[in-house]
Amino acid sequence: MRKNLIVLLIFFPITLLGQELECCKTTSEVEDHLNGYWQMKDSNPKEQIRFEFNNGNGRFWKYTLNHKGEVTKSEEIDQTLEIFKSESGFEIDWSNGNRIGTSQIKILNPTNLVFVRRDGKKTEFSKIID
């Protein structure tokens, strides 16, 4: 049994198990799916973020809402975002002039997004649909 598992792991790329992006084959498709408003799971429900990608360049904003769902505070985060494809799948690079970090895009579909940092920490989001 152990031999079979080892042989299977040798011939079956582990990267195929690592990412669930049924929606996207190119970086521009990933950018299109990321564009919009997202709510971080297990966080303050009155805070949202918005990703915006244009011609390969990405930015994001953090919004605070009141009890009526109206924006009370808007803050552009001083970081640029870039989507690229690596051996392990699509990744996002966060930068403020110097590289801040890179996260793998583990799950991306019309309603969910999961980033996984290099240290293994996951950040999950739900898409806010108008």
What pLDDT is attached to residue 2?
Answer: 52
Tens-place pLDDT, residues 7-46: 444 444 443 445 666 678 899 999 999 999 999 998 888 9
The pLDDT, as a whole number, for residue 97 is 73
Question: Is 18-127 CATH 2.40.128?
Answer: yes
| pLDDT > 90 in the chain, percent | 60
Report domain extents, the chain. 18-127
- pLDDT digits over 62-97, tens only? 999 999 889 999 999 988 999 999 988 999 998 877
List Cα–Cα distances, 29 to 15, 21, 54, 55, 96, in angstroms: 20, 10, 12, 11, 24
Single-letter residue type at 127: K
Residue 93 near residue 81, CB atoms below 8 Å: yes
